[in-house]
Amino acid sequence: MPFLTPIPRTDLLRRLLAELLGTALLVTVVVGSGIMAQQLSPRDVGLQLLENSLATAFGLTVLILMLGPISGAHFNPVVTLADWALGRRTRTGLRSAMVLPYVVAQVVGAILGAVLANTMFDTRTTIATTHRATGGHLLGEIVATAGLILVIFALARTGRGALAAPAVGAYIGAAYWFTSSTSFANPAVTIGRIFTDTFAGIAPTSAPAFIGVQLVGAAVGCALLLVLYPDVARSADDVVIPHLDQASA
Protein backbone atom coordinates (compact mmCIF):
# COMPACT_ATOMS: atom_id res chain seq x y z
CA MET A 1 0.00 0.00 0.00
CA PRO A 2 1.29 3.52 -0.73
CA PHE A 3 0.50 4.45 2.91
CA LEU A 4 3.08 1.94 4.14
CA THR A 5 5.77 2.66 1.55
CA PRO A 6 8.59 4.91 2.85
CA ILE A 7 8.74 8.30 1.19
CA PRO A 8 12.15 8.92 -0.44
CA ARG A 9 14.03 11.79 1.19
CA THR A 10 14.09 13.82 -2.02
CA ASP A 11 10.31 13.47 -2.39
CA LEU A 12 9.81 14.47 1.23
CA LEU A 13 11.89 17.62 0.77
CA ARG A 14 10.00 18.47 -2.41
CA ARG A 15 6.69 18.16 -0.62
CA LEU A 16 7.79 20.37 2.27
CA LEU A 17 9.26 22.93 -0.12
CA ALA A 18 5.97 22.98 -2.04
CA GLU A 19 4.02 23.57 1.18
CA LEU A 20 6.41 26.31 2.33
CA LEU A 21 6.46 28.02 -1.06
CA GLY A 22 2.72 27.72 -1.61
CA THR A 23 1.82 29.12 1.80
CA ALA A 24 4.39 31.89 1.45
CA LEU A 25 3.03 32.96 -1.92
CA LEU A 26 -0.56 32.72 -0.66
CA VAL A 27 0.23 35.15 2.17
CA THR A 28 2.16 37.35 -0.24
CA VAL A 29 -0.96 37.53 -2.42
CA VAL A 30 -3.22 38.29 0.55
CA VAL A 31 -0.97 40.93 2.11
CA GLY A 32 0.37 42.42 -1.12
CA SER A 33 -3.05 42.84 -2.71
CA GLY A 34 -4.29 44.35 0.55
CA ILE A 35 -1.52 46.95 0.50
CA MET A 36 -2.14 47.68 -3.19
CA ALA A 37 -5.87 48.03 -2.52
CA GLN A 38 -5.19 50.56 0.23
CA GLN A 39 -3.01 52.57 -2.15
CA LEU A 40 -5.42 52.46 -5.10
CA SER A 41 -8.67 52.95 -3.17
CA PRO A 42 -7.71 54.78 0.02
CA ARG A 43 -11.23 56.05 0.76
CA ASP A 44 -13.32 53.02 -0.16
CA VAL A 45 -13.00 50.03 2.19
CA GLY A 46 -15.56 48.03 0.22
CA LEU A 47 -13.54 48.38 -2.96
CA GLN A 48 -10.39 47.47 -1.05
CA LEU A 49 -12.03 44.25 0.09
CA LEU A 50 -13.18 43.46 -3.45
CA GLU A 51 -9.67 43.94 -4.83
CA ASN A 52 -8.15 41.88 -2.01
CA SER A 53 -10.67 39.03 -2.34
CA LEU A 54 -10.38 38.75 -6.12
CA ALA A 55 -6.59 38.63 -6.00
CA THR A 56 -6.70 36.00 -3.25
CA ALA A 57 -9.22 33.81 -5.08
CA PHE A 58 -7.27 33.86 -8.33
CA GLY A 59 -3.89 33.50 -6.63
CA LEU A 60 -4.98 30.52 -4.54
CA THR A 61 -6.37 28.78 -7.61
CA VAL A 62 -3.08 29.16 -9.47
CA LEU A 63 -1.02 27.98 -6.49
CA ILE A 64 -3.11 24.82 -6.08
CA LEU A 65 -2.74 24.02 -9.78
CA MET A 66 1.01 24.69 -9.70
CA LEU A 67 2.03 22.91 -6.49
CA GLY A 68 -0.83 20.50 -5.82
CA PRO A 69 0.70 17.58 -7.77
CA ILE A 70 3.73 17.68 -5.44
CA SER A 71 2.26 18.02 -1.95
CA GLY A 72 -1.51 18.10 -2.37
CA ALA A 73 -1.50 21.89 -1.89
CA HIS A 74 -2.74 21.95 1.69
CA PHE A 75 -1.13 25.33 2.54
CA ASN A 76 -3.21 25.16 5.72
CA PRO A 77 -2.69 23.29 9.03
CA VAL A 78 -6.40 22.54 9.47
CA VAL A 79 -6.50 20.84 6.06
CA THR A 80 -3.40 18.84 6.99
CA LEU A 81 -4.87 17.82 10.36
CA ALA A 82 -8.24 16.91 8.82
CA ASP A 83 -6.52 14.85 6.11
CA TRP A 84 -4.57 12.96 8.78
CA ALA A 85 -7.51 12.50 11.16
CA LEU A 86 -10.06 11.35 8.59
CA GLY A 87 -7.65 8.83 7.07
CA ARG A 88 -6.73 7.02 10.31
CA ARG A 89 -9.33 4.25 10.09
CA THR A 90 -8.56 3.33 6.48
CA ARG A 91 -4.80 4.06 6.60
CA THR A 92 -5.14 6.70 3.92
CA GLY A 93 -4.39 10.40 3.88
CA LEU A 94 -1.33 12.11 5.30
CA ARG A 95 0.98 9.96 7.39
CA SER A 96 1.47 10.81 11.06
CA ALA A 97 5.17 11.54 10.59
CA MET A 98 4.33 14.17 7.96
CA VAL A 99 1.85 16.23 9.98
CA LEU A 100 4.31 18.28 12.03
CA PRO A 101 6.73 18.92 9.13
CA TYR A 102 3.82 20.07 6.96
CA VAL A 103 2.55 22.44 9.64
CA VAL A 104 6.01 23.87 10.35
CA ALA A 105 6.61 24.45 6.64
CA GLN A 106 3.25 26.19 6.33
CA VAL A 107 3.83 28.48 9.31
CA VAL A 108 7.37 29.41 8.27
CA GLY A 109 6.17 30.02 4.73
CA ALA A 110 3.34 32.26 5.94
CA ILE A 111 5.71 34.47 7.92
CA LEU A 112 8.14 34.71 5.01
CA GLY A 113 5.26 35.59 2.69
CA ALA A 114 4.21 38.51 4.86
CA VAL A 115 7.79 39.79 5.04
CA LEU A 116 8.10 39.49 1.24
CA ALA A 117 4.92 41.48 0.64
CA ASN A 118 5.98 44.18 3.08
CA THR A 119 9.37 44.44 1.43
CA MET A 120 7.97 44.67 -2.11
CA PHE A 121 5.80 47.61 -1.09
CA ASP A 122 8.51 49.31 0.99
CA THR A 123 6.44 48.75 4.12
CA ARG A 124 8.27 47.98 7.34
CA THR A 125 7.60 44.54 8.80
CA THR A 126 5.90 45.45 12.06
CA ILE A 127 3.42 43.67 14.29
CA ALA A 128 -0.20 44.26 13.29
CA THR A 129 -2.48 46.36 15.47
CA THR A 130 -5.87 45.43 13.96
CA HIS A 131 -7.96 43.71 16.62
CA ARG A 132 -10.49 41.28 15.15
CA ALA A 133 -11.50 38.84 17.90
CA THR A 134 -15.12 39.78 18.49
CA GLY A 135 -17.82 37.19 19.03
CA GLY A 136 -19.16 37.66 15.51
CA HIS A 137 -15.72 37.37 13.93
CA LEU A 138 -14.98 34.15 15.80
CA LEU A 139 -18.28 32.63 14.71
CA GLY A 140 -17.45 33.71 11.17
CA GLU A 141 -14.16 31.81 11.37
CA ILE A 142 -15.93 28.64 12.49
CA VAL A 143 -18.30 28.90 9.52
CA ALA A 144 -15.51 29.73 7.05
CA THR A 145 -13.25 26.89 8.18
CA ALA A 146 -15.99 24.27 8.37
CA GLY A 147 -17.12 25.21 4.87
CA LEU A 148 -13.58 24.99 3.52
CA ILE A 149 -13.13 21.47 4.90
CA LEU A 150 -16.49 20.44 3.44
CA VAL A 151 -15.63 21.79 -0.01
CA ILE A 152 -12.21 20.14 -0.18
CA PHE A 153 -13.13 16.68 1.10
CA ALA A 154 -16.51 16.47 -0.63
CA LEU A 155 -14.85 17.13 -3.98
CA ALA A 156 -12.25 14.44 -3.31
CA ARG A 157 -14.86 11.93 -2.15
CA THR A 158 -17.08 12.46 -5.20
CA GLY A 159 -14.22 12.16 -7.69
CA ARG A 160 -14.23 15.80 -8.68
CA GLY A 161 -10.74 16.65 -7.46
CA ALA A 162 -9.99 18.29 -10.79
CA LEU A 163 -12.33 21.08 -9.70
CA ALA A 164 -10.57 21.63 -6.36
CA ALA A 165 -8.40 24.54 -7.46
CA PRO A 166 -11.17 26.77 -8.86
CA ALA A 167 -13.69 25.60 -6.25
CA VAL A 168 -11.44 26.34 -3.28
CA GLY A 169 -10.39 29.66 -4.79
CA ALA A 170 -14.03 30.59 -5.41
CA TYR A 171 -15.08 29.54 -1.90
CA ILE A 172 -12.39 31.63 -0.21
CA GLY A 173 -13.18 34.60 -2.45
CA ALA A 174 -16.87 34.34 -1.58
CA ALA A 175 -16.18 33.80 2.13
CA TYR A 176 -14.36 37.15 2.23
CA TRP A 177 -17.84 38.60 1.81
CA PHE A 178 -20.28 36.31 3.57
CA THR A 179 -18.30 35.87 6.81
CA SER A 180 -17.78 38.66 9.32
CA SER A 181 -14.11 37.72 9.75
CA THR A 182 -13.32 37.92 5.99
CA SER A 183 -12.43 34.23 6.14
CA PHE A 184 -8.90 33.65 7.37
CA ALA A 185 -9.80 29.93 7.82
CA ASN A 186 -6.10 29.06 8.14
CA PRO A 187 -3.90 29.07 11.27
CA ALA A 188 -0.66 29.50 9.29
CA VAL A 189 -2.04 32.46 7.35
CA THR A 190 -3.33 33.92 10.62
CA ILE A 191 0.17 33.76 12.10
CA GLY A 192 1.71 35.23 8.96
CA ARG A 193 -0.72 38.14 8.98
CA ILE A 194 0.49 39.14 12.45
CA PHE A 195 3.64 40.41 10.75
CA THR A 196 2.06 43.15 8.66
CA ASP A 197 0.39 46.25 10.08
CA THR A 198 -1.63 46.78 6.91
CA PHE A 199 -5.11 46.08 5.53
CA ALA A 200 -4.67 42.31 5.98
CA GLY A 201 -3.04 42.36 9.42
CA ILE A 202 -4.32 40.83 12.64
CA ALA A 203 -3.11 41.83 16.10
CA PRO A 204 -1.27 39.07 18.02
CA THR A 205 -3.83 39.35 20.81
CA SER A 206 -6.57 38.30 18.35
CA ALA A 207 -4.64 35.50 16.64
CA PRO A 208 -4.91 32.78 19.35
CA ALA A 209 -8.70 33.07 19.45
CA PHE A 210 -8.85 32.92 15.65
CA ILE A 211 -6.65 29.81 15.57
CA GLY A 212 -8.71 28.16 18.30
CA VAL A 213 -12.01 28.63 16.49
CA GLN A 214 -10.43 27.56 13.19
CA LEU A 215 -9.64 24.23 14.84
CA VAL A 216 -13.23 24.08 16.09
CA GLY A 217 -14.45 24.84 12.57
CA ALA A 218 -12.29 22.04 11.17
CA ALA A 219 -13.78 19.61 13.70
CA VAL A 220 -17.30 20.73 12.75
CA GLY A 221 -16.47 20.28 9.06
CA CYS A 222 -15.09 16.77 9.67
CA ALA A 223 -18.17 15.79 11.69
CA LEU A 224 -20.48 16.96 8.93
CA LEU A 225 -18.41 15.09 6.36
CA LEU A 226 -18.72 11.83 8.29
CA VAL A 227 -22.50 12.25 8.34
CA LEU A 228 -22.85 13.29 4.71
CA TYR A 229 -20.15 11.00 3.29
CA PRO A 230 -19.54 8.12 5.75
CA ASP A 231 -16.77 6.65 3.56
CA VAL A 232 -14.99 9.98 3.03
CA ALA A 233 -11.77 8.55 4.55
CA ARG A 234 -11.21 6.40 1.46
CA SER A 235 -10.47 9.51 -0.61
CA ALA A 236 -8.19 11.26 1.90
CA ASP A 237 -5.20 10.55 -0.34
CA ASP A 238 -6.66 12.90 -2.95
CA VAL A 239 -6.70 16.03 -0.73
CA VAL A 240 -6.52 18.77 -1.87
CA ILE A 241 -5.72 17.13 -5.20
CA PRO A 242 -3.91 13.83 -5.99
CA HIS A 243 -0.21 14.31 -5.37
CA LEU A 244 3.21 12.70 -5.07
CA ASP A 245 2.37 9.39 -3.36
CA GLN A 246 -0.30 8.57 -5.91
CA ALA A 247 1.85 9.68 -8.85
CA SER A 248 4.72 7.48 -7.63
CA ALA A 249 2.41 4.53 -7.04
Check pLDDT > 50 for residue 219.
Answer: yes
Per-residue pLDDT band at 8 (split at 50, 70, 90): confident
Mean pLDDT score, 201-227: 98
Domains and CATH numbers, the chain: 9-248 (1.20.1080.10)
- Tens of pLDDT, residue by residue over 187-200, are 999 999 999 999 99
pLDDT of residue 236: 85
Q: Report d(CA 12, CA 9) in Å as an integer.
A: 5
pLDDT of residue 1: 38
Per-residue pLDDT band at 22 (split at 50, 70, 90): very high
CB atoms within 10 A of CB 131: 12
| C-alpha closest to that of 107 among 205, 22, 210 | 22
Q: Taking the model in full, what pTM does it have?
A: 0.93
Question: What residue type is 105 in one-letter code?
Answer: A
